[in-house]
Chains A and B, each alone.
Chain A
């Protein structure tokens, strides 16, 4: 059963061809890591999956909903598709706890007591129960990202998208966040698509790696073979530069 299907998807920003001939199928329960140089279209690809970016042609089906159809209600799709952003995007006017509780309350109408308990459990899981009443401006970047992960989990998504979740963090904060992501994505019924530059982490959590360059999928392989013997020259070149540093 597939969770995400791209069929000949094209995406342009004006003249710029951001996604070229994307054909991709991701099954339920998979943890897929998307890597590649800057500007290769990784983030764009991830953002098309929950409709934050529109596509110009081709077909894109996520969780059995057709995103290439203008009539598809994206709000309903997004209840099942969580997203974690590079810059966290916590609501600046809401406390940590409210950040987590808001969507379940106003989107899926979860009863208040149940909602609060679930939110506190999530904060506990990411190790930030004591920060529940803080405002986002009062916590560190790593803590913000862990709250953002808890926020996306509060909607009980079937699919999680991570858009460079550690790129804006201090080096010391990265590990805590990666541990949380690892825990979340390892759940057997969770499908995850992770855009990252952390190769060690990619090796550890992913069961599949997709390598992109210039808007195209250049290589799509299981994690072990990708890192041990990449097929294409472009991927070999990319890995040699990263690993030797």
Chain B
């Protein structure tokens, strides 16, 4: 194991960097996209609700690998050339955003309806009630399941290996095929994944305690 770390530190570090970058980008964009679709799903407008629902059902019911392959193979064929890292990160973002949308939607809907009525009855608009009363309460409810989604996202970023995204998984495959030391190759990256996911889990738990 030490052997692999010393000999392939450059590859491992680069893989760690790409995994981290892909995860951070996907987390940022999936949180924004997911929140937008969550809100669309609960709007009074029927068309908005339908679009929100359709998006969520589409991306959460297709395997991540299939979505990623679609962006890697089909988009370059007809639209623009994108590399594996970009295709993988887009796939990861869309896939995760569907789950985040579901998480946030259920969080908003689990806030007691009386809260909305109380706010509307004193003359607040729908969006004022959302901003000052509903969303702050929903945010609190949503933190633990959102933490799960974030950790899943980091682990799912290993999908990049299938589209030449140069991430940790990709590097482990490559190291394993040159050294034939499969066990240690994957052990090392397992530890590297933990280095990202463990602090993330702890941070989410800290946030949960701090806000509750």
Q: Does residue A65 face the partner (Cβ distance < 8 Å to B)?
A: no
Q: Do B114 and A151 touch (CB < 8 A)?
A: no
Which residues of chain A from 71 to 87 have a CB within 8 Å of any chain B CB? Answer: 74-76, 78-79, 81-83, 85, 87
Q: With a CB–CB cut-off of 8 A, which chain B residues contact A22?
A: none
Which B residues contact A (CB, under 8 angstroms)?
A: 112, 114-115, 117-125, 128, 132-133, 136-137, 140
Inter-chain CA distance A155–B122, complex, in Å, is 7
Q: Which residues of B contact A155 (CB under 8 A)?
A: 122-123
Q: How distant is the Cα of A91 from the Cα of B119 in the complex, in angstroms?
A: 8
Return A225 CB to nearest CB of chain B, in Å: 33
> With A and B bound together, what is the CA distance between A53 and B102 in angstroms?
28
> A102-B132, A106-B132 given as contacts; is B124 within 8 A of A91 (CB)?
no
Assess whether A107 is in contact with B121, with CB atoms less than 8 Å apart: no
Once bound together, how far apart are the Cα atoms of A155 and B123, in whole Å? 9
Contact with B along A136-153 (1 / 0, CB 8 A): 000000000000100110
CB pair A90–B118 under 8 Å, yes or no, is yes
**Chain A residues with a Cβ under 8 A of chain B:** 50, 52, 74-76, 78-79, 81-83, 85, 87-94, 102-103, 106-108, 148, 151-152, 154-155
Instruction: Report how far A33 CA is from B146 CA in the complex, Å.
Output: 48
Question: Does B115 contact A107, Cβ atoms closer than 8 Å?
Answer: no
Q: Are the C-beta atoms of B123 and A76 separated by less than 8 Å?
A: yes
Interface centre among B114, B122, B124 (most CB of A within 10 A): B122
- CB of B119 to closest CB in A, whole Å: 7
Determine the residue in chain A with the shortest Cβ distance to B114.
A89
Contact A78 B117 (CB under 8 A): no
Which residues of B sit under 8 angstroms from A50, Cβ to Cβ? 121
Known: A85-B114, A87-B114. A103 touches B120 (CB 8 A): no
Q: Are B120 and A52 in contact (CB under 8 A)?
A: yes
Interchain CB contact under 8 A, A78 and B120: yes
Expressed in whole angstroms, the minimum distance between the Cβ of B92 and any Cβ of chain A is 33
Complex contact A79–B123 (CB within 8 A) = yes
**Chain A residues with CB under 8 A of B137:** 92-93
